[in-house]
């Protein structure tokens, strides 16, 4: 890239944040933590927060000490102090905001899933290529130190040729039928259900660790078909239809020949954020579970058969980035730190003139795989 690339060589980049819900909060905390953790990194300057109403936007600006707010994200497009549009709004808004941001020459950081379907995701990818801006997807689990380390071990051939990947993201936030209706239960707002929400992370992890996937068959299943609708005053007088999946599973084959079994659920009673993988290689194997994200289980054969087995390795100074956050193994880090590392990589890429991964190319590859799960679903 050349000097014409927005933000090239800059040490501080202007950010506009759209959406002040769960992810808007997490991104803000990560923006604030970045200079505290990496003082020499390319740093964000969050200049404006946008939300759907004046009240929401103003409240976020006040709480997070962001100097400006707006209830009309279009007003951010002409602001030359903004280099990055950070989209933390629901998926049905990603395409419209992302296309406008790219056309305005802004780099685009978007939460997953990129759009409500593959067509929208393809439009977003096309726009960032056409306008030559950086794109980045919030597949943050690939930034856990243990998963970066696992990827490194696999790439270096430490476990030999990968034979099999198993990945599951099971949670139970929607297991009870009386969990109120929300946008995640609507296909026209969220797109797929658990498949898009947690499945996008599982497919991203599979591609990150093992490589491209060539074959996919799977199923999706809906378990709860309507949910209580909470009124403006907190009263429940009716229900609203749910029209996307609650759980899914897929059998895959990777281009390198490995096979895989992937699954996810939002109704997996008892599981909270159980995003776990197991990678089996010809020499060794690796296991990880986000609920114990500071540990990687490593199997490498021992000469003494009596000691043969998985070793629980606590992430610490020898592992990627962990030692920057905490001084010694056993002092855990969490979800927030994955976002700090994600944002660090995105900003550094922009300043260096080279978009860091995962880009919208990765987002589109994942969206296409999710669609292939649905297309092979015998009940659809
Ligand atoms: N990477 C992850 O681990 C992760 C986790 C949770 C959510 N997400 C993704 O983040 C995105 C947001 O999810 P969330 O949980 O933060 O949702 P949320 O409902 O908590 O927040 C969405 C925010 O967008 C705002 N919004 C709605 N319409 C708007 C408009 N027209 N202009 C500006 N703001 C508007 C809402 O008022 C709300 O503040 C989704 O794509 C979701 O899938 C990612």
How many A from CA of 129 to the centre of ligand 1? Answer: 25
pLDDT given at position 378: 67
pLDDT given at position 379: 60
Q: For each of the chain's 380 residues, which pLDDT tens digit applies? A: 556 899 999 999 999 999 999 999 999 999 999 999 999 999 999 999 999 999 999 999 999 999 999 999 999 999 999 999 999 999 999 999 999 999 999 999 999 999 999 999 999 999 999 999 999 999 999 999 999 999 999 999 999 999 999 999 999 999 999 999 999 999 999 999 999 999 999 999 999 999 999 999 999 999 999 999 998 888 988 999 999 999 999 999 999 999 999 999 999 999 999 999 999 999 999 999 999 999 999 999 887 888 899 999 999 999 999 999 999 999 999 999 999 999 999 999 999 999 999 999 999 999 999 999 999 976 65
pLDDT given at position 380: 53
The full DSSP string for 62-104 is HHHT-SEEES-GGGGTT-TT--EEEE-S-GGGHHHHHHHHHHT
| Residue in 16, 51, 95, 346 to alter for ligand 1 test, most ligand atoms within 8 A of Cβ | 51
Count CA within 13 A, CB hemisphere, residue 208: 24
Q: Is 91 in the pocket of ligand 1 (CB under 6 A)?
A: yes
Burial of 22 (0-12, 13-18, 19+ CB in 10 A): exposed
Single out the residue of 147, 155, 154, 145 nearest to residue 315, CA to CA. Answer: 145
How many A from CA of 286 to the centre of ligand 1? Answer: 33
Closest residue by CA, ligand 1 atom 29: 52
Q: Is 140 in the pocket of ligand 1 (CB under 6 A)?
A: yes
| Residue in 54, 59, 87, 88 to alter for ligand 1 test, most ligand atoms within 8 A of Cβ | 88
């Amino acid at each position: 890239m050349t000097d014409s690339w927005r933000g090239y060589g800059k040490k501080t980049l202007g950010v506009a944040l759209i959406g002040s819900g769960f992810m808007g909060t997490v991104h803000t905390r990560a923006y604030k933590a970045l200079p505290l953790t990496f003082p020499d990194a390319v740093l964000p300057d969050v200049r404006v927060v946008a939300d759907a109403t004046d009240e929401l936007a103003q409240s976020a600006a006040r709480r997070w000490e962001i100097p400006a707010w707006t209830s009309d994200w279009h007003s951010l497009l002409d602001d030359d102090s903004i280099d990055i549009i950070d989209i933390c709004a629901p998926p049905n808004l990603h395409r419209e905001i992302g296309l406008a941001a790219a056309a305005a020459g802004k780099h685009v950081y978007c939460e997953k899933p990129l759009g409500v379907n593959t067509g929208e995701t393809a439009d977003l990818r096309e726009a960032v290529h056409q306008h030559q801006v950086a794109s980045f997807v919030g597949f943050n689990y690939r930034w856990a130190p243990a998963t970066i380390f696992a990827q490194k071990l696999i790439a270096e051939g430490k476990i030999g040729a990968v034979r099999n990947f198993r990945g599951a993201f099971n949670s139970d936030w929607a297991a009870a039928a009386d969990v109120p209706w929300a946008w995640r239960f609507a296909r026209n707002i969220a797109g797929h259900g658990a498949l898009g929400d947690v499945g996008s992370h599982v497919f991203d992890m599979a591609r990150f660790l093992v490589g491209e996937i060539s074959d996919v068959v799977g199923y999706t299943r809906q378990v709860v078909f309507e949910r209580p609708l909470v009124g403006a005053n907190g009263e429940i007088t009716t229900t609203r239809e749910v029209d996307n999946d609650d759980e899914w599973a897929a059998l895959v084959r990777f281009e390198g020949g490995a096979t895989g079994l992937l699954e996810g659920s939002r109704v997996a009673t008892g599981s909270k954020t159980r995003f776990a993988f197991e990678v089996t290689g010809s020499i060794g194997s690796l296991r990880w579970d986000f609920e114990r994200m500071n540990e990687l289980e490593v199997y490498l054969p021992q000469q003494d058969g009596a000691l043969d087995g998985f070793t629980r390795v606590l992430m610490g100074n020898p592992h990627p980035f962990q030692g920057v956050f905490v001084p010694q193994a056993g002092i855990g880090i969490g979800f927030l730190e994955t976002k700090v590392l994600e944002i660090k990589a995105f900003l550094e890429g922009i300043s260096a003139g080279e978009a860091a991964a995962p880009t919208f190319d990765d987002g589109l590859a994942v969206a296409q795989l999710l669609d292939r799960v649905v297309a092979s679903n015998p009940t659809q």
